[in-house]
Chains A and B, each alone.
Chain A
Amino acid sequence: MFDANPAASPSARVRKVEPSSFGFQPSSVPPPAGGGGDLLEISLGPHHPSTHGVFRMNVVLDGETVVRLKPVFGYLHRNHEKLGEGTSYLGSMPYTDRLDYLNSMTNNWAYAIAVEKLAGLTVPERAEYVRVILAELTRLLNHTCLAGFLMQDCGCSGTPLMYAFRERERILDLFESLSGSRMMCNYQRFGGCRVDPTPAWLAAVAQLVDRYGPFLDEFEELLTGNEIIMARTQGVGRLPAALAVNAGVTGPMLRASGVGHDLRKVDGYGVYPRLNFRVPVGDHGDVYDRYMVRVLEMRESISLLRQALAALPGGPVLDPKAKQRGLRPKAGEAYGRIEGPKGEIGFYLVSDGTANPYRYRVRPPSFVNLTVLEDLCLGHTVADAVIILGSIDIVLGEVDR
């Protein structure tokens, strides 16, 4: 029988470099060492709800057990990084919305930080708080959606997803009334934010924050103690901490494996050092822990939102001296990163003194997190592979760019 111990496999297995990563080659799979039954190679996706977009998994099955898995992606490739070299610094901002289209506010922020570092801009105090508020709202939105989608993958069709989307819609309404668009916010600017939030908007945020705790209680009542969900997710897709660190996994997925690494604490960007919050860490690194870590993070986000709303100072929201159009930073390079809801989202920019970046590179969290997919899925069933993929929390707009 094929040895499919995920803990032993990453170092023991020798990865064969295949000539074409797009080719579907049924004959390329050697029979497993030590005999075993007939293998079946099937293609999961690309057009299937379980793949969260256009993503394909070529899986080799022994019975129902995954013995090999090859992710195939690039179906949504839009030349994002090359486009960034051809557009101005300001012109790339709306494109960053379209990376991870659930979390446009944090993408904007990471890009703004990179450009601010490059051009040496400062951000007014009020804008820093507004950015924290928006980033934590985004985290709520992303994790709520993820929990809903994960349950959809587990087979509870509809109900948890619709409850999650109901709450997500309230956050999107806030984004829309502030920035003009539900998902493609294009809100952050170099040296601050585009629009100053009105008192009415801040009151609406406070109201949403107050009702989010009760919603989470209800959501957890529905899901966390559910025996079917526990049976489906506990012990499935274990990610050892060492592998997570070596593969560069970040975000809730890394923390679920027991590594307390959070850029909000590590880098202390923005005004996070002034706010009190804890970083939830999992014990087992399985799908259930990834779900729980996200739920606990949402609770911390609620507390962060309360603190940020209480401490929000007055003043301008955009540095009036900061140049948006025709920005020409001095030649140099900068890497700006923040803790996005999915992990470390970073932008690496090289400037040669002209109006366009010389190099524009995105460090996408879901792409890097996806690299451990095979290691997580080996030895599990096809149905579990779907849940494991769901728990990684990918958005194909960011994976393929």
Chain B
Amino acid sequence: MSVGDYIRDSQIWKSVFRHPAPYDRRNRVVVMLTNFFLHLHPVSIKQQGIALSYTWCMGGITFFLFLVETITGVLLMFYYRPTLEWAFNDILALRDVTTLGIMREIHRWGAHAMVITVWLHMYRVFLTGSYKPPREFNWVVGVILLKLTLLLSFTGYLLPWDQLAIWAITVGSNMARATPVLGHEGPGFQFLNLGGYDLITNASDARFLLLGSRFVGEETLNRFYILHCVAIPLAAAGLIAIHFWRVRKDGGISQPL
């Protein structure tokens, strides 16, 4: 009996995997049904549907990058403090002295890559007509996930608190003050007034809601930190679950009808 067989025959191994290794046909079926991570997939699948030149694997890579971002992000959260006093210095330390400071590089490049792969996933799904019935609603979920990916990247852009960060966020969030009706420089903001007093001012409009302040300051840093690390990832994780579930329920990877 080899060491591998001895391990696979042990009670511990059996308790975790519940069946022999997927060497034969029966166990290759069983492994897909009993493994939590693998049960996202069907047991068998159309050969052309999983061809790389068909799927480009971009949806899968996007999800993998989401996991990479989560793991590296959690590690970065151990070091980084979102305050005016520390934010920049912590990033500086990550670059210069912290062990495994490369997590920041992986996090940032992974974020850029994720934006690109999510676009390409959308491109592929459009070009194969996979949004057509019965997959219409999953396309809608996908568009929301695309938007969340951009927002995740956008909120994370501020956290290093350097010149690149605050000015990119300033330029981006300045748009919000022109929101129709709800921005203090937007058309129709005059409609919201009480007895001649404007309800929408630079301290109560959409931009203020986003920034928590009249300019990109410490409140903004806090707001973007919570959005970046908690709120948007939670929303995205929930929608990803729905997205995957609907892929299965809507008939799996799209194929010629």
Is B one of A's binding partners?
A: no
Enumerate chain B interface residues (CB-CB to A < 8 A).
Answer: none
